[in-house]
Copies of this chain bind each other. A is one copy, B any other.
């Protein structure tokens, strides 16, 4: 993250004002995601964000006006990425492929963007006051589509019935996001060692296997 900030800053020669704004907004958004992930909306301070972004505190307010506004922008950006990862579920007809790629994409996101997942988790835990709209309209819509796909597979006897399709979907969310949200716990229980990329790939395949078997598909 720090390297990212330095890299963006170094590239600046004589740049247009729009470009400076764009760069700084990205730097601040990345810093904010990290800080909000650790302390939540209320627990984070604009000074912390400014320090991580290596900018004076007043610049945060200059670009985003209020802390709440910056927070909303972070949430929005996470949601967009999340929905991108969710596409496999609608592009594959066979449950085995759809589930495999969706769970895989979610696991990859937990690995590459853990802070985003944590900001999301924090927001939900504290009652989702800033996300009700996103959840009740945009996410709800996607969930409905997804649930009907799962129900179709059940009707076609391609997978076992689990009663309510939501239960299955929530298990996928919970299990994959656990690798982002609870990463510190996983590290401590792994004797203080972070998983290497290849170890993580292994866990990913194991998770895919468990999820597939849970609905009766042999991986």
Q: Which residues of A contact B (CB under 8 A)?
A: 37-44, 118, 121-122, 124-128, 132, 135-136, 139-140, 143, 160, 162-164, 166-168, 170-171, 173-175, 177-179, 181-182, 184-186, 188-190, 192, 202-203, 205-207, 209-211, 213-216
Contacts and interface: CB of A to CB of B under 8 A. Distances in A.
- How many copies of this chain does the complex contain? 2
Contacts of A174: 174-175, 177-178, 182
B171 A175 contact: yes
Given A38-B126, A170-B186, A189-B140, A210 B135 contact: no
Contacts of A127: 38, 184
Scoring A43, A125, A128, A178 by chain B CB atoms within 10 A of each residue's CB, the highest score goes to A125
B42 A140 contact: no
